[in-house]
Chains A and B, each alone.
Chain A
Amino acid sequence: MSALLPAIILVPLLSAAVLAYFRNSWSKTAISWVACGSVFASFAMVVALVVSPEEVFRSGFTTWGKLLDFGLLADRLSMWWMLVVTGCGLLIHVYSTGYMRGDPSFGRFMAKMNYFIFAMSLLVLADNFAGLLMGWANVGLASYLLIGFYHKKPAATSAAMKAFVMNMIGEAGMIAGIAIMFRVFGTFKFDAVFARAAEAPHAVNTICLLLLVGAVAKSAQMPLHTWLPYAMEGPTPVSALIHAATMVTAGVYLVSRAWPMFEVTTTAASAVMWVGAIGALFGAVVAAGQNDIKRVLAFSTLSQIGYMFLANGLGAYVAADFHFFTHAFFKAALFLTAGIVVHHYAGDQDIRKMGGLWQKDKFATVALVLGMLALIGIWPFAGFFSKDEILLAALHSHNYVVLGIALLAAGFTAFYNVRLFSLVVLGEPWVAPGAKVSGKKRASAHADHAHAEHGHGHAEHHHATPMAQVISVGILAVLSVISGWIFFFHGQLTFLEPAFHGLELVEEKINWALAGGAMGLAAVFGLVSWMLFRPGGLRRQAEVDLGAKAGPLVRMFYFDDLYEWIAIKPVQALAAFAANVGDAKIIDGLVDGLGKVAAALGSGLRALSGGYVRRYALTVFGGVILMLCYYVFYA
């Protein structure tokens, strides 16, 4: 059985290589089948591992000396994650076959997506920190390749670069942490390090803080979060898979996996908690001001991952992983639905130009609503249970400030979701001032068509939403509803428990007071939002006004500008200085001054650089003789 482990990782890699080679010669159907087939194979293997009664599977690779003892480990935690990676990955691959069909580089896209699945699997299944780091770096590369997929668009390429550079900063911290760990413990393997973590709590604290730097960069938490909104330049399936469901949650995985180390630390665990709490609130607030539908979802992701970090920091690792599970489904559902929605509006992602989705596409509206309800955390949707567990963890640990922040963030979550709903779904489709009258007429004519014939506006397509997209979004929407119900059977607790043995896991019953309070707060915020943004509401006209100046929310509290000011402008100024002043005046001046001296020496030395190889050899031998003289006469 454990022989399946390498296969899970390698099948997508092989498929990626094959697809990359044949990307221009095979038909799109063939490419689709190969790509989805390989992810399906991995998923099937993961399921086989999950249903078997054993808890842990190990598989070893060859040992490369004592330095790198590489193997694969599938304990309950990694199996839990792999279910999402391969399962959600499969659904998103299926979606992509419909969504990206019109793109001429379809083969390249599917190859890169498969490569990502390989990289993420490697990250999750490795049994040592070095392997995890390899997976980490590879997912970073995959992210770069996929964000910059539309490589002719300068916005996309610079976004990809930004993501990569910021991740590199995180990786620097992470590598430092892992290096210190190797120095202290002498090994990279998880089991060995965790068993001895209690011996050196201060060192472990430092290590965990450095690992946190890496996790923060990868998971786009504050303060290394500015790359995430720009990463939305990638195609929508990419945003769904990488920047919502799996890659950005790698930071959560890292902390969950290293839980024995975090349990021993003093400040690192609370650092994780605070990073999460601040991120949760910040993301939710900023999302309320964004005008690009994908950016709203991006900040929503930031906020939800903040919740996961919060739970991890409190020691409620199971709650964090449960929230990761449900979040993957409803966030992916939201992103993929957003893809369909954007298609209806001729590719325009600005929500101020949307509206009236209910008339255009009932399926998309329903999917959107289901995902949103799960995201807000309304009973009995999935998000309710997982978010509630996190709040309970905060309550149990008597961390009331953090609980307050989390509740506030939940309120804002409702706020921005209802805003999004109002602007996109309700009302009449936005009409550009001075547009032809036929636009409006077509919109009302389409009220008859219930199913996915989208309003034309300026689009040229005349096809319904492809079945592939409908099916995958449908499955994900259903999962958003039901994936929380495994809570009722404490399924996730008993499944994950063996991975956290030794840790006291509290069996969470629903605390109806807290849950009710959270939902009530969400309802209040949602109501306010609805009052503001519904058609005819107080702020609707102002929101929809395209010419309005971008306020602090849209500018993401100016973080981006701050970083530009701190990091980029000084470097550019320094470069300009070096080029214009340093090079031209200072260095040239020096050179001229020394030139006279150099000329005198020049002719003598010039013989050495005559270009004759044998002369070079002669000088080398001269040096060798000098060294030998030392050995003969002095040693």
Chain B
Amino acid sequence: MSSLYVFIPAGLLCILGALGVILAKQPVHQVLSTVLNFIGLAVLFLSLSGEFMAVIQMIVYGGAVMILFLFVIALLTARKDPIERDSGHLPGQRVAGWAFGGAVLAMLTLIGVVGKGPTKLADIPADFGTVAHFGHELLTTHLLAFELTAFVLMVAVIGVVILVGRQKG
């Protein structure tokens, strides 16, 4: 199928990014791997006709959140990262982690591949997933969720201010 040409590279990109996060030693490398993951996901979103989401993904996640991580790494926690060669305080955690994670991986993939998927895709209008369509949905049918989102963000801001604001004391 022609669209596998899109799916496979993007999927590989995602997986490579994820592997990079869990395996890289340097934190900045991890951040870059995460961004790779996001790019792959953005491409996948585009292939699913989610244009708005793809752009939001890149802007918010890749742009803002990752920059935030970079700032924290660069300014505040540099040189503090644990050298993760030994097992530290928790013996057996790494083995158990890989084992458990591997089990979850295997089982979920099994479900994903073998499970009965949808046989027919719904017909979608031409403007499916565009900004206009998404905006319309968000602000009419899901207005309450939208308002609550604003509330959540406000709570986050207040939380951060309260947490970090005291040091001037």
Contacts and interface: CB of A to CB of B under 8 A. Distances in A.
A612 B144 CA distance: 38
Interface in A601-635: 612, 614-615, 618, 621-622, 624-625, 628-629, 631-632
Interface of B: 89-90, 93, 96-97, 100-101, 103-104, 107-108, 110-111, 141, 143-144
Among B90, B108, B110, residue most surrounded by chain A Cβ atoms (within 10 Å)? B90
B79 to A, nearest CB: 22
Interface in A156-184: none
A618 B108 contact: no
A612 B89 contact: yes
A632 B108 CA distance: 9
Contacts of A615: 90, 93
A53 interface: no
A64 B100 contact: no
A612 B141 CA distance: 43
A62 interface: yes
11 contacts: A65-B143, A65-B144, A612-B89, A622-B100, A625-B107, A628-B104, A628-B108, A631-B107, A632-B107, A632-B110, A632-B111
Closest 8 A-B residue pairs measured CB to CB? A628-B107, A621-B100, A64-B144, A632-B107, A625-B103, A614-B93, A612-B90, A618-B96
> What class of interface size applies to chain A in its complex with B?
10 to 19
A621 B100 CA distance: 7
A625 B106 CA distance: 10
Nearest to A65: B144
Main secondary structure of the interface of B (DSSP, over half): helix
Nearest to A622: B100
A618 B97 contact: yes
Contacts of B143: 62-65
A437 B143 CA distance: 74
Given A64-B144, A65-B141, A614-B90, A621 B104 contact: yes
Interface of A: 62-65, 612, 614-615, 618, 621-622, 624-625, 628-629, 631-632
Nearest to B97: A618
Nearest to A614: B93
A404 B126 CA distance: 76
Contact of B104 (A62, A63, A614, A624): A624
A63 B111 CA distance: 40
Nearest to A619: B100
B86 to A, nearest CB: 15
Contacts of A622: 100
A628 B101 CA distance: 12
A625 B111 contact: no
A435 B131 CA distance: 84
Contacts of A624: 104
B90 A625 contact: no
A338 to B, nearest CB: 45
A618 B100 contact: yes
Given A618-B97, A624-B104, A631-B107, 6 more contacts: A618-B96, A621-B101, A625-B103, A628-B104, A628-B107, A632-B111
Contacts of B103: 625, 628
Nearest to B139: A62
B111 A631 contact: yes
Contacts of B100: 618, 621-622, 625
Nearest to B96: A618
A626 to B, nearest CB: 10
Contacts of B104: 621, 624-625, 628
Nearest to B107: A628
A400 B24 CA distance: 91
A71 to B, nearest CB: 15
A375 B72 CA distance: 73
A629 B107 contact: yes
Contacts of A628: 103-104, 107-108, 111
Contacts of A621: 100-101, 104
Contacts of B111: 628, 631-632
B154 to A, nearest CB: 17
Nearest to B110: A632
Contacts of A62: 143
Contacts of B97: 614, 618
Nearest to B141: A65
Contacts of B93: 614-615, 618
A628 B115 CA distance: 13
A628 B93 CA distance: 21
Contacts of B96: 618
Contacts of A629: 107
Contacts of A612: 89-90
A577 to B, nearest CB: 41
Nearest to A624: B104
A618 B97 CA distance: 7
